[in-house]
């Protein structure tokens, strides 16, 4: 990995990604640009793109593509995402696939797999009440408290 300078602009972009991430966002370059311009109005969009690219290369932040749009993640660690098909909200899921599933995927694709990043689509908690018929049926009935009906 090429060593790059940690410039004032790059630090501003990193702080913007982290701030937007803390607000629950997986920002686009345009979102980061808008946030950075609040504190550094002279910064160009091209500089933001270069800084984002360098931060991804340095593994300071993560990058994922959702609907063919690059989104940036304050966490560079491998993880999955859940995406609301109604409102577009994106959330992190830190869970690994079982090793047997990874081996099966590797065998089926003839790829040597070294990382995992899967996008799951569904309805976020905010959108679920608006579309209750879209919720998958559970095989185990739940009580209003969320416990399994047969649990003691």
Q: Print pLDDT tens along the chain (152 aa).
A: 455 566 899 999 999 999 999 998 999 999 999 999 999 999 999 999 999 999 999 999 999 998 899 999 999 888 899 999 999 899 999 888 888 998 999 999 999 988 888 999 999 999 998 876 555 544 444 434 444 444 43
Q: Is residue 131 part of a domain?
A: no
Q: Is residue 152 part of a domain?
A: no
Q: How many CA atoms lie within 13 A of 4 on its CB side?
A: 19
Give CA–CA dist 132/107, Å, rounded. Answer: 38
Q: Give the per-residue pLDDT at 132.
A: 63
Residue with tokens 């999955």: 80
Q: Give the per-residue pLDDT at 127.
A: 94
Q: Give the per-residue pLDDT at 134.
A: 54
Number of folded domains in the chain?
2
The encoded tokens of residue 152 equal 């003691």
Range of the domain at 85: 77-125
Give CA–CA dist 142/135, Å, rounded. Answer: 14
Q: Are residues 72 and 83 in the same domain?
A: no
Q: Give the per-residue pLDDT at 139.
A: 41
pTM of the model: 0.72
Q: Is residue 137 part of a domain?
A: no
Q: Are residues 7 and 64 in the same domain?
A: yes
Q: Enter the DSSP assignment of 129.
A: G
């Amino acid at each position: 990995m090429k060593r790059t300078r940690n410039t004032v602009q790059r630090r501003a972009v990193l702080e913007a990604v982290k701030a937007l991430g803390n607000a629950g966002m997986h920002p686009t370059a345009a979102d980061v640009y808008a946030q950075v311009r609040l504190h550094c109005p002279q910064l160009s969009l091209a500089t933001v793109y270069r800084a984002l690219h360098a931060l991804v290369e340095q593994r300071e932040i993560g990058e994922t593509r959702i609907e063919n749009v690059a989104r940036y993640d304050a966490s560079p660690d491998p993880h999955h995402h859940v995406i609301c098909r109604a409102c577009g909200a994106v959330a992190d899921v830190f869970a690994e696939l079982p090793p047997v599933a990874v081996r099966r995927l590797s065998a089926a694709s003839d790829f040597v797999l070294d990382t995992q990043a899967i996008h799951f689509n569904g309805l976020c908690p905010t959108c679920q009440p608006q579309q209750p018929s879209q919720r998958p049926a559970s095989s185990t009935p739940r009580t209003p408290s969320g416990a399994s009906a047969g649990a003691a």
